[in-house]
């Protein structure tokens, strides 16, 4: 169990130098253990919101807190150890082996000399093998260079790496955008299953509404940096989709509270 943590956004704003409001007053609490999917057209602010959680972007105003601790300069290095990211293009080192890529996920927990020497504790090697099996890869994949694996296999490595440091929070920015529909389903299913098993909170942006409906506990849709829908997948209607994916003026948000905000 990762030690569950919630994510809170309080009146979060991000305005770029050219005056673009990427985030325009986001109020949102993602409870610990929830699988929350962000939808929204290109430029709606999904990546910016995710990047504010681990300090890759600094908000212009408002606050983010995780597990009750504000994300700021003082807390960031500690909090980052509890946060993992899964990327659209996998974010692997192409020429490094599968094993090295997965073990890189433990780097935040290791002393510098271990990383410099490349000598990893045997417990870590065992954990690499366990995770590899958990994401449906075989040990033979450990010695192959990441670039020699298929896209789906590479993203499985990406997932194994993300879970390596036992994260409380997983930020996944379009984790299946480079994969075909069938493999996308496998990868999201694994992400969900592993996160649930380990009690991790997931904030995941997706472009495919059908996949959001299938895997999310909750869907939050952004338009021009504002929340326009917040509810369970079953509450997302065609009318909401029309709102989300057209670029008219941002309407009033439609919030359908999840029954008791239960997850699982």
Ligand X SMILES: Nc1ncnc2c1ncn2[C@@H]1O[C@H](COP(=O)(O)OP(=O)(O)OP(=O)(O)O)[C@@H](O)[C@H]1O
User: Is residue 47 near Mg ion by the rule CB under 5 A?
Assistant: yes
**What long-range pairs does 100-106 form, CB within 8 A, spacing at least 24?**
101/146, 101/157, 101/161, 102/128, 102/131, 102/132, 102/142, 102/157, 102/160, 102/161, 102/164, 103/128, 103/164, 104/161, 104/164, 105/160, 105/161, 105/162, 105/163, 105/164, 105/165, 106/164, 106/165
User: Is residue 20 near ligand X by the rule CB under 6 A?
Assistant: yes
Residue in the structure block whose two tokens are 């417990």: 123
User: Given candidates 22, 53, 142, 244, which one binds ligand X under the rule CB under 6 A?
Assistant: 22
What is the smallest separation between the CB atom of 61 and Mg ion, expressed in angstroms? Answer: 21
- Residue 122 touches which member of Mg ion, ligand X, none, C-beta under 5-8 Å by kind: none
**Interface characters, 154-193, with ligand X (x: CB under 6 A):** ----------------------------------------
Whichever of 40 and 152 has its CB closer to Mg ion, that residue is 40
Query: Which residues inside 48-107 make contact with ligand X, applying CB under 6 A?
Result: 48
- Residue 42 touches which member of ligand X, Mg ion, none, C-beta under 5-8 Å by kind: ligand X
What is the smallest separation between the CB atom of 22 and ligand X, expressed in angstroms? Answer: 3
What is the smallest separation between the CB atom of 19 and ligand X, expressed in angstroms? Answer: 10
Output the CA torsion sign for 221, 227, 232, 237.
negative
CB atoms within 10 A of CB 247: 10
User: Is residue 42 near ligand X by the rule CB under 6 A?
Assistant: yes
Strands 61-66, 7-15: pairing kind: antiparallel
User: Is residue 16 near ligand X by the rule CB under 6 A?
Assistant: yes
User: Is residue 153 near Mg ion by the rule CB under 5 A?
Assistant: no
Whichever of 166 and 230 has its CB closer to ligand X, that residue is 230
CB 175 within 8 A of CB 155: yes
What is the smallest separation between the CB atom of 45 and ligand X, expressed in angstroms? Answer: 4
- Stretch of 43-51, 213-221, 229-237, 242-250 contacting ligand X, by CB under 6 A: 43-51
- Stretch of 38-46, 60-68, 132-140, 242-250 contacting ligand X, by CB under 6 A: 38-46
Q: If 0-12 CB within 10 Å is exposed, 13-18 middle and 19+ buried, where does residue 67 land?
A: middle
Q: Which residue in 225, 184, 183, 182 sits closest to 14, CA to CA?
A: 225
Which residues contact Mg ion by CB under 5 A? 46-47
Which residues contact ligand X by CB under 6 A? 16, 20, 22, 40, 42-48
């Amino acid at each position: 169990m990762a030690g569950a943590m919630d994510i809170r956004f309080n009146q979060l704003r991000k305005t770029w130098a050219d005056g673009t409001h990427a985030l325009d007053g986001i109020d949102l609490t993602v409870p610990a253990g929830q699988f929350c999917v962000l939808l929204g057209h290109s430029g709606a602010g999904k990546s910016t919101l995710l990047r504010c959680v681990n300090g890759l972007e600094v908000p212009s105003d408002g606050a983010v807190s995780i597990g009750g601790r504000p994300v700021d300069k003082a807390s960031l290095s500690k909090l980052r150890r509890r946060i993992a990211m899964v990327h659209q293009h996998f974010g692997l080192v192409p020429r490094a082996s599968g094993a090295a890529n997965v073990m890189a996920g433990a780097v935040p927990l290791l002393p510098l000399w271990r990383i410099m020497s490349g000598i990893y504790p045997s417990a870590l090697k065992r954990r690499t093998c366990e995770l590899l099996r958990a994401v449906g890869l075989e040990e033979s994949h450990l010695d192959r260079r990441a670039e020699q694996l298929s896209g789906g296999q590479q993203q499985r490595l990406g997932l194994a790496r993300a879970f390596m440091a036992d994260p409380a929070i997983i930020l996944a920015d379009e984790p299946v955008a480079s994969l075909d529909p069938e493999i996308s389903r496998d990868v999201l299913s694994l992400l969900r299953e592993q996160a649930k098993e380990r009690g991790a909170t997931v904030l995941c942006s997706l472009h495919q509404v059908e996949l959001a409906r299938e895997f999310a506990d909750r869907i939050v849709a952004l338009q021009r940096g504002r929340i326009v829908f917040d509810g369970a997948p079953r509450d997302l209607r065609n009318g909401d989709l029309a709102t989300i994916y057209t670029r008219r003026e941002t309407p009033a948000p439609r919030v359908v509270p999840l029954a008791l905000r239960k997850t699982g």
